[in-house]
Amino acid sequence: MSTKDYKKLSNNVLEAIGGKNNIKQLIHCATRLRFNLINDIKDVSVIEKIPDVLGTMKVGEQFQVIIGPDVDKVYVEMKDLIEGTENTLNTSNNYNSNESNKNPIFNVFSSILDALSGTMGPVIPAIVASAFFKMLIAILGPELLNILSEQDNLYVLLSFVGDAAFYFFPVIVGYTAAQKFKVTPTLGILMGAILIHPTLISLVEKGEEFSVFGFPMYLSNYSGTIIPVFLSVWLMSYLEKGFNKIIPNSLRSVFTPAFTILSVIPISLWIVAPAGTFLGNYIAAGLFELENIVGFLGIAIIAALYPILVMTGMHMVIIMTLFQVFTTQGFDGFAAPALCYASFSVMGVGIGAFLRLKNKEEKSLAASYALTALVAGTSEPTIYGICTRYKKPFIGLMAGGFLGGIYGGLTKVISATLVPSSSVTSLLTFIGKSSANIINGVIASLISLVAAALITYYFGFDKEEPGLKGQK
């Protein structure tokens, strides 16, 4: 697409969602524009018919327009168009108010997903950067090529740079959560810094009793955690708004930040942060227990269903849990390998569709989707451009992941290195344990790719599908 096309696409999407006055918030991830809208969209098919839009998805209160790997360029054009937006209500008849009579339990669950997605999405670039340096250690260090020893300055440098994002996770999440919950961003950063302050960590390591305003606190090391600061910043959003309402404008810049932190510290250290730690630990423990119960079959099931979870936004729960698992034990032999197999299954569907389709335009699109999955690790073009469009490729998608997961589970493959990528580079996740682990991980991934490609080729399309007839 050219620059002119990006601008046209942005205009078309903006018009279809009700204009800039219908937007409360706009962010983007690797493939999607993520809108928080004032009024819900009544007919999403209008947007889905826009050229270069791959599909739409509603996750919690967030409406997502799936663009693909070019989303950052569309986002820039979109931001230019909505610069200076006033959040006034659009009363167009094409839109329904968000205040609908939905199931309250569904609303709570959707809001949690929306908050997690909006918080964790912006964190991923920092994790990718740090994980890259940890990957270099795994490749160049004693466990593989043995080019660097643990005493080499370069090894030490790569080590602490690779650990930085994981250690300071509360600070990073504090910032992104503050943006999501509309808290002053620096207060979110401060909250994260408080939770990992060296004095607090020293108290935890020594096991010394410590009280906050006369009440004992539960001692816990919050380094590398997500949920404690996430919940604390969520609480801060209400406290800051409350103080802004009662403190005069002339005093607000000084006393609102101070009173917000003063109020949140005891509640966070007494209740919220410890509760977040327990919740995070139980989620991680639940993943381990599931592995013990279902074994290799669970790996296959996750690999088969993960693309569906991506479509619903539920994948953020698994990603958040994996961050916790890698921070806790440094590897994972359950969900992380399954995600790699699922990624290769997506690649296989794109390849199978490319080989099967005869229509030049559709064949070219399938090739671009497959290449995007292989090189960029972006699954949405294949999922929405092939699976959702033709329906039957979902069979190959899920079967490929399942079969790869069966082999990987039986051979006890683990992800020894966190590689937050869905491209062919995701194979690097198997480096760091043994040569057998690498070989079996690669074999399992190739099984997913080949099985998905073959099943898509032979069973992914109806015989009367026009795309199989080609162009004259």
Q: Which residues are catalytic?
A: 29
* Residue 399: both structure tokens together: 């079967």
